[in-house]
């Protein structure tokens, strides 16, 4: 759920005794299904929102129309700001959250501030399929919220899986959800610079009864560390590029799959600009796709079959032909 919409829902519920999903949908200009999902997400996150069935039913805050943020408990405040913080990237949303933070009881503000900083979302993926949440994500979330040091068993990409995990002790500072791939930003013992760890490479977590080290100007350190991670990864993943022709109707799907590694270039030269989009109309768009190697790029494109055509470079076309030959050799005679 978008953070700004979550704030809006809480404010609507504060100002009314009861609201239906349809009324909320009209208020926020979203579908009824989206409004209902958002209300259920708030309730699941621990915010005191509940539905009342029957005639005159709807959704309401516990305590009725006059309930305000000063009535939230510590766990409720933490749940609300943890959920809000995960999607709060826009400056105007961050400003709204700061105002909301000042509205909750003073004793809960430090905990809510910690929850707000605990998780961030970077919606632009790496061009890989998102998997299920990694097994130790909940443990790390608790450690970040509690500001406690942890010992983790971490297998570095540099060392490779054969090297096995290495035990490291660090101060966990933030989790980042990058389109389903999770990262931990932390301060390792013996270092003064924040490092990034991919959560699915963590095979064990032990929460220590010791306070985490939190550097001064925490936000600047975290932003700098994440920016360096993205720039380094993008550079490594963009070493090879290919131009592909895609039917216009498939372009949004292809771009959604490849994330930052897919850029629409324009219509295919010679295509009929007046042709209506549709199957078999010959109308195609050019898309530039990048990856770390020719083979890696070909492997990603192979799954699209004839829906995309690689125009250049020849090296990627050759890799695709090789993949096709391998598949033919293995599955010939299966039809």
For the stretch 83-141, pLDDT in tens is 555 454 455 555 555 566 555 555 555 555 566 667 777 766 555 555 678 889 889 98
Judge residue 287's burial from the number of C-beta atoms within 10 Å of its C-beta, 0-12 exposed, 13-18 middle, 19 or more buried: buried
Residue 65 confidence class, pLDDT cut points 50, 70, 90: very low
Start-end of H helices in 125-182: 137-146
CB environment 178-196: b (16+ within 10 A), e (fewer): bbebbbbbbbbeeeeebeb
Over the stretch 42-58, which tens digit does the pLDDT of each residue have? 777 667 787 877 777 78
Lowest mean pLDDT segment, chosen from 77-81, 194-198, 220-224: 77-81
- In sequence order, the 6+-apart residues with CB closer than 8 A to the CB of 230 are 122
DSSP β-bridge partners for residue 246: 285, 308
**CB contact at 8 A, 248 and 287:** no
Query: Rounded mean pLDDT of 279-299?
Result: 81
Residues 6+ apart with CB under 8 A from 134: 182, 199, 200, 202
3-state secondary structure of 237: helix
User: Coil, strand, or helix at residue 331?
Assistant: helix
Angle in degrees, CA 234, 238, 243, rounded to 5: 140
What average pLDDT is seen over the chain? 77
pLDDT above 70: residue 191: yes
Q: Which of 9-18, 161-170, 194-203, 247-256 has the lowest mean pLDDT?
A: 9-18
């Amino acid at each position: 759920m978008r953070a700004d919409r979550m704030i809006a829902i809480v404010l609507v519920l504060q100002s009314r005794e009861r609201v239906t999903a349809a009324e909320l949908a009209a208020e926020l200009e979203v579908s009824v299904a989206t409004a209902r999902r958002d209300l259920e997400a708030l309730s699941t996150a621990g915010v005191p929102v509940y539905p009342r069935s029957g005639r005159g039913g709807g959704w309401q805050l516990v305590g009725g129309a006059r309930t305000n943020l000063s009535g939230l408990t510590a766990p409720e405040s933490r749940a609300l700001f943890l959920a809000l913080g995960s999607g709060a990237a826009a400056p105007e949303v961050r400003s709204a959250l700061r105002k909301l933070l000042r509205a909750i009881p003073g004793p809960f503000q430090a905990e809510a501030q910690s929850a707000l900083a605990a998780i961030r979302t970077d919606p632009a993926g790496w061009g890989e399929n998102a998997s299920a949440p990694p097994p130790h994500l909940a443990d790390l979330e608790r450690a970040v919220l509690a500001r406690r040091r942890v010992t983790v068993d971490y297998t570095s990409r540099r060392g490779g899986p054969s090297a096995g995990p290495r035990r490291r002790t660090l101060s966990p500072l933030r989790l980042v959800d990058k389109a389903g791939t999770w990262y931990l930003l932390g301060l390792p013992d013996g270092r003064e610079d924040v490092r990034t760890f991919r959560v699915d490479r963590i095979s064990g977590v032990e929460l220590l009864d010791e306070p985490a080290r939190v550097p001064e100007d925490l936000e600047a350190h975290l932003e700098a560390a994440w920016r360096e991670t993205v720039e380094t990864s993008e550079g490594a993943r963009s070493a090879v590029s290919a131009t592909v022709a895609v039917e216009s109707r498939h372009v949004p799907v292809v771009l959604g799959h490849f994330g930052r590694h897919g850029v629409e270039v324009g219509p295919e030269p010679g295509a009929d600009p007046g042709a209506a989009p549709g199957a078999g109309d010959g109308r195609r768009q050019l898309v530039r796709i990048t990856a770390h190697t020719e083979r890696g790029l070909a492997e990603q494109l192979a799954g699209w079959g004839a829906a995309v055509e690689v125009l250049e470079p020849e090296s990627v076309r050759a890799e695709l032909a090789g993949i096709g030959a391998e598949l033919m050799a293995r599955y010939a005679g299966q039809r």
